[in-house]
């Protein structure tokens, strides 16, 4: 089946609200596309101004995080209902930086995936291996464990609607990129894992992105692969080149 490509920018902890609005204005005409979905995943403080700034365009807004409770005494956190009310459609879950710096484990991330679906948000679930794990030859073992753990209790219909992002940790923000063959091999392996957990139809429907130093020069080759359905783009999403990635 033909899966619609999805190109999402992960702004990380960049862009003040005023800078975010300016970037949206700069990118507005550059990211126009009828053939791919375009998402800006932005810091919490930027969500409201960015939602306003992209009104009337083809851009949808995503969050970089959410908490597992709807409200309460969780100082500093942001809830799924807050995101929905602000106009957010997508949310990144399980990025390697959240796993490493904030010690989010798979059991916790599974709760986040469930909470996102409960609220009507589309999860962009991240997975990926370290350089050490790749060199040990356990890449797919590790990623399969992440996928299986993070999707416990998630239905096939839910999986069909979500996005999975494969991001080799050794290629995030380093300038290193997995070869096209490496990226396709893992994305294909993720799809096979989904088929084992659920069925072939679910595996065929789920969109799988590649992330890890995606840029205007390598996007076309990466996105041409049969199991790569777009990209989760870091640094390159903060400049005009993001338009070239969208219109690869």
Question: Residue 137 burial (CB < 10 Å; 0-12/13-18/19+)?
Answer: exposed
Total domain count, the chain: 1
Residue 176: the pLDDT is 77
Residue 118 is among the residues annotated as catalytic for this protein: no
**Residues of the chain below pLDDT 70:** 1
Where residue 31 falls (left for φ over 0; alpha for ψ -120 to 50; beta otherwise) is alpha
First-to-last alpha carbon distance for the chain, in angstroms, is 21
Residue 167 is among the residues annotated as catalytic for this protein: yes
Residue 174: the pLDDT is 78
For residue 164, the cross-strand partners are 125, 208
* Rounded distance between C-alpha atoms, residue 58 and residue 71, angstroms: 31
Q: Do the Cβ atoms of 191 and 227 come closer than 8 Å?
A: yes
Task: Identify the domain containing residue 136 by its residue range.
Answer: 5-246
Catalytic position from the list 64, 95, 129, 184: 95
Going by C-alpha positions, the residue among 95, 4, 86, 98 that lies closest to residue 52 is 86
Residue 42: the pLDDT is 98
Q: Do the Cβ atoms of 70 and 80 come closer than 8 Å?
A: yes
Residue 165: the pLDDT is 98
pTM above 0.85, yes or no: yes
Residue 1: the pLDDT is 61
Which CATH number belongs to the domain containing residue 205 in this structure? 3.20.20.70
Residue 171: the pLDDT is 87
Residues with Cβ within 8 Å of 109's Cβ and at least 6 positions away in sequence, in order, are 93, 94, 99, 125, 149, 150
Residue 128: the pLDDT is 97
Residue 31: the pLDDT is 98
Catalytic position from the list 64, 97, 129, 167: 167
Residue 37: the pLDDT is 98
Where residue 104 falls (left for φ over 0; alpha for ψ -120 to 50; beta otherwise) is beta
């Amino acid at each position: 089946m033909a899966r619609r490509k999805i190109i999402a920018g992960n702004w990380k902890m960049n862009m003040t609200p005023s800078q975010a609005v300016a970037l949206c204005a700069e990118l507005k005409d550059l990211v126009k596309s009828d053939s791919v979905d375009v998402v800006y995943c932005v810091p919490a403080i930027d969500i409201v101004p960015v939602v306003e700034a992209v009104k009337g365009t083809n851009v949808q807004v995503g969050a970089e995080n959410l908490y597992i409770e709807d409200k309460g005494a969780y100082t500093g956190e942001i809830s799924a209902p807050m995101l929905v009310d602000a106009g957010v459609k997508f949310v990144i879950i399980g990025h390697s930086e959240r796993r490493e710096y904030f010690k989010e484990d798979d059991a916790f991330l599974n709760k986040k995936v469930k909470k996102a679906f409960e609220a009507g948000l589309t999860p962009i679930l991240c997975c990926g291996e370290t350089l050490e794990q790749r060199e040990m030859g356990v890449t797919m073992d590790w990623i399969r464990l992440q996928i299986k753990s993070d999707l416990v209790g998630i239905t096939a219909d839910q999986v069909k609607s979500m996005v999975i992002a494969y991001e080799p940790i050794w290629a995030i923000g380093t300038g290193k990129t997995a070869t096209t063959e490496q990226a396709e091999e893992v994305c294909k392996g993720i799809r096979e894992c989904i088929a084992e957990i659920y069925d072939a139809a679910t595996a065929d429907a789920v969109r799988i992105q590649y992330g890890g130093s995606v840029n205007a020069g390598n996007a076309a080759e990466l996105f041409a692969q049969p199991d790569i359905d777009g990209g989760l783009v870091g640094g390159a999403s903060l400049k005009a080149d993001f338009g070239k990635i969208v219109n690869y």
